[in-house]
Amino acid sequence: MRARPRRPHEIPCGIRAAGREIAQFCISLKNVPGALGQVASEFARHGVNILSGYISAHPGERLGYVTFFADITDAAVGLEELVSALRKLDMVVELEVRGAEVPGLMVNSAHFPLLFLGQEVVIIDLRMVGHMFSRLDEVFDTGASVILYEMGMRAGKVIVEEIAECGIPEEDVLKVLTALGVARGWGITEILSWDLKAARLALRVWENFECKPLAGKKRKPHSHFMRGLIAGVVSKLTGQPVKVREVKCLAKGDPYCEFVAERVQHV
């Protein structure tokens, strides 16, 4: 059975709105109940529609932060008057407003670096991933699979180390990894079987980011980075060398990528 579908997560890094006047509001608020509601109510009072954004607040900290894009085209007041009203709110500590640099396109250039669970990250769209991996194939032929596998192997071991540093019990590492895979946009993982002592793992990855741009375009399994990633994870968890086979692959027309990791048998 296919893993449960999820609602797409649009990262609020920009918005297209042809013919509309969009502004970005960056607001530091008191980190207390009702702060966000007070701000939202003020926007509604002036006929301003909040479109998208994000909220960041941590328990125990004095301030929270919210930034969002808002459509001010049909606002009952001008931007200056709106900003003045917001600054008078007792929950608002700091406020910055930015307009679109190009008509019809508002890009979030107010924040850098981009973070995920405290780690700096970058965004590369799947079309670019497809072009990058295809170019590796063109230049290095079969050597590309080795490069990608080794990259994945190192990444898998590092990810397990980082999870362990957070105090996550060993038996919960795979649960955390599957959740992180969804949050990072890597794919939706379905664990089929897992035997820690035998160092054997079987899993499926639906919408695998590595193969999705190449879906149906290859004649054989093509997820070398993901194979390496799984090998790194399993070898780190078990302390044993493993090999990983991709038995089904989205790139060659299968509905998902399926992998089997097994302990290397020494002769």
pTM (predicted TM-score): 0.89
Contact call for residues 263 and 242 (beta carbons, < 8 A): yes
What mean pLDDT comes out for the span 196-203?
96
What mean pLDDT comes out for the span 218-246?
96
Q: Where are the domains of the chain?
A: 14-112, 126-263
Give the angle 37-184-35 at the CA atoms, nearest 5°: 10
pLDDT at 45 over 60: yes
The predicted structure's pLDDT at residue 5: 60
What mean pLDDT comes out for the span 165-191?
94
Characterize the bridge pairing of strands 200-206 and 49-56.
unpaired
The predicted structure's pLDDT at residue 248: 98
What mean pLDDT comes out for the span 71-84?
96
Contact call for residues 94 and 29 (beta carbons, < 8 A): no
What average pLDDT does the structure give for the chain? 94
The model's confidence at residue 1, banded by pLDDT at 50, 70 and 90, is low
pLDDT at 197 over 70: yes
12-39 burial: b if 16+ Cβ within 10 Å, else e: bebbebeebbbbbbbbbbbbeeebbebb
Identical fold at 14-112 and 126-263?
no
The model's confidence at residue 2, banded by pLDDT at 50, 70 and 90, is low
CATH label, 126-263, candidates 3.30.450.40, 3.10.20.30, 3.30.1380.20, 1.20.1050.10 = 3.30.1380.20
Segment 14-26, tens digit of pLDDT: 999 999 999 999 9
For the chain, what percent of residues have pLDDT higher than 70?
97
Q: Which CATH architecture has domain 14-112?
A: 2-Layer Sandwich (3.30)
Segment 114-159, tens digit of pLDDT: 999 999 999 999 999 999 999 999 999 999 999 999 999 999 999 9
Number of alpha carbons in the 13 Å side-chain half-sphere of residue 93:
12
What mean pLDDT comes out for the span 248-263?
97
